Amino acid sequence: MPSDSSPHQQIPALSLHDIAMSFGSNAVLKGVTMALYPGTVTALLGANGAGKSTLIKILAGVYSGNGGTIEVAGEPVVMDSPLASAQHGIQTVHQHIGASIIPGLSVAENLVFEEIVQGRIPAVRSHAKLLPRAREIAATLDLGWSDATLRSDVFELGIADGQLLLLARALVHRPKVLILDEPTSTLSQAEADRLFDVIKRLCREGVAILYVSHHLDEIRSLADQLVVLRDGRIHDVQDQPFDMAVAVRSMLGKQVALDADTLVEKRGTVPALELRGVQLLRRSGQFDLDIRYGEVTGVVGLIGAGKSELARGIFGAGRFRAGTIRFDAKAYRPRQPAHAVERGIYLVPEDRASEAILPGWSIAWTTTLPFIGRLARAGVLNIPRERTSARSVIHAFGVVSTGCDQPVDALSGGNQQKVVVGRWLTQSPRVILLDEPFRGVDIGARHDICHKAREASEAGSCVVVFSSDVDEIREVADRIVVLVEGEIRMDAYTSEVDSEAIVKSMSEVA
């Protein structure tokens, strides 16, 4: 704390009074009042669809015309644009990086992009002249990117590095208020730990931080206060020490188990996929792996361990560097995803925003796109069948929506994920590959997706879940396979190992 006084005796860095926001007849925020204090972390919790994203966009100046008042350091302000928000000392790092990173520009140009827009750096300038400033911005997070990386197209950065880029760009402005929306959803543990150190440093410097996360362990260790938003209203406010059971009930309006104690482990015997001599990464060794029907296989590893390469190779969206696959005891060589889909092998990709949904497309179109050939005769789409299929996903997965004609990108993140997962699981897959299916979804949605994945396994599907989160894997998997640098370090059933052993194996190198 920058002051000996209680934070609640200080003038708030940011105050919200009776904030309301509606879209047509849909009231999303219904009178939100809260305050952020200098040098403190306020955690904002809420199920998907609670109104968190709308509140964040109001503070970031993306949405205007809301009811209520906003004060910065006790003075009323108007947040009618992102520039106005920044001028009042508010910086926001959004969960979805696609809206803030400019493809086609280099990493360096993206780092200095705001300064170019504001005219502080000429729009036409050589990389050689941009690099010194880009290095300064990258240094705020000790990113250590080489000049070659800074010169490369930003598209070549992974999701995690893209989020770190945006965070570095925000920190260089020395904000009074920093809003972090699911900041660790794409980070490795080492990167997350570095972020936590930055957050603690910023608090010592008097920055007020609004921290949005579904990870309760992060909130326990980082936050000074938690605020629970449900159905557009504040339902719980707590100071440390937190009662997480109360917070979760407030979030969901019901009790949900926070652990995997109720999982009844299953063990399969019949291989669905037999991988032999597989090499995932340029410098990794080869391995053999059988993935069986009748059990949920959890593949866990840090970012860069090769999880997505394994999933994409099985789906035909990428190629293994070496190795063969047998599916149902027959040679299987998918050259493109369509070949996998024809055989009932489906993938829910890691990044739903860029790889699984199309902006403006309805829920009906999104759920039926991969199977459009099954719903058409002589080139004419059977609209009633399409809508029936979409409604079955909405009903089976509890998608909160206005109906199957609603644009999928208008849904909350968790409901988008339910649509993406549901369109595959409702089609009786032979093999379903779920790559980071819980990213950015609340505890309730995670519980629902876990339940549906296990139901699919019990119904005869081969289910593989890929995640970097040990607790998430233990909630859903019967068997755990740990990948480190493209190689298997552990292959055991969940009942045979504890979380500590899994984490230890994830950190071991050959």
pLDDT, tens digit, 9 for 90 and up, residues 378-405: 667 778 888 888 898 998 888 888 889 9
pLDDT tens-place values along the chain, 510 residues long: 444 455 566 899 999 999 999 887 778 899 999 999 999 999 998 876 788 889 999 999 989 877 899 999 999 999 888 889 988 999 988 877 666 778 788 888 888 887 777 666 666 566 777 888 888 888 887 788 888 888 888 887 777 788 788 888 888 878 899 999 888 876 777 778 878 888 898 899 999 999 998 777 889 899 999 999 988 999 999 999 998 878 877 876 655 544 455 678 899 999 999 999 999 988 889 999 999 999 999 999 876 788 999 999 999 999 999 999 999 999 999 989 999 999 999 999 887 777 888 888 999 999 888 887 777 676 677 788 888 888 989 988 888 888 899 999 888 777 888 999 999 988 889 999 999 888 767 777 788 889 899 999 999 999 999 988 788 898 899 999 999 889 999 999 999 998 888 888 876 654
242, 248, 282, 376 from 220: Cα distances, Å: 7, 13, 39, 52
Quote the percentage of the chain above a pLDDT of 90. 40
The Cα diameter of the chain in Å comes to 76
pLDDT of residue 263: 74
**Rounded distance, CA 476 to CA 297, Å?**
9
**Rounded distance, CA 153 to CA 167, Å?**
18
Q: Is the bond preceding 241 in cis, omega lying within 30 degrees of 0?
A: yes
- Within 10 angstroms of residue 313's Cβ, the number of other Cβ atoms is 21
pLDDT of residue 258: 45
Provide the 3-class DSSP secondary structure of residue 507: helix
Q: How far is CA 124 from the centre of its chain?
A: 35
Domains of the chain with CATH codes: 7-252 (3.40.50.300), 262-344+433-446+463-510 (3.40.50.300), 355-428 (no CATH)
- Within 10 angstroms of residue 381's Cβ, the number of other Cβ atoms is 13
Q: Tokens standing for 194?
A: 């570095």
pLDDT of residue 57: 92
pLDDT of residue 217: 80
Determine if residue 410 is left, alpha or beta; phi over 0 gives left, psi from -120 to 50 gives alpha, anything else beta.
Answer: alpha
pLDDT of residue 483: 93
Q: How far is CA 91 from the centre of its chain?
A: 20
Alpha helices in 333-492 (DSSP H): 337-342, 352-355, 363-368, 383-397, 413-425, 443-458, 470-476
pLDDT, tens digit, 9 for 90 and up, residues 171-228: 887 889 999 988 887 677 777 887 888 889 889 999 999 999 877 788 989 999 999 9
Q: What's the full length of the chain, in residues?
A: 510
48, 64, 250 from 54: Cα distances, Å: 11, 10, 19
The 3-state secondary structure of 48-92, one letter per residue: CCCCHHHHHHHHCCCCCCCEEEEEECCEEECCCCHHHHHHCCEEE
**Rounded distance, CA 313 to CA 335, Å?**
9
pLDDT of residue 262: 62
Query: What is the β-pairing status of strands 431-435 and 462-467?
Result: parallel
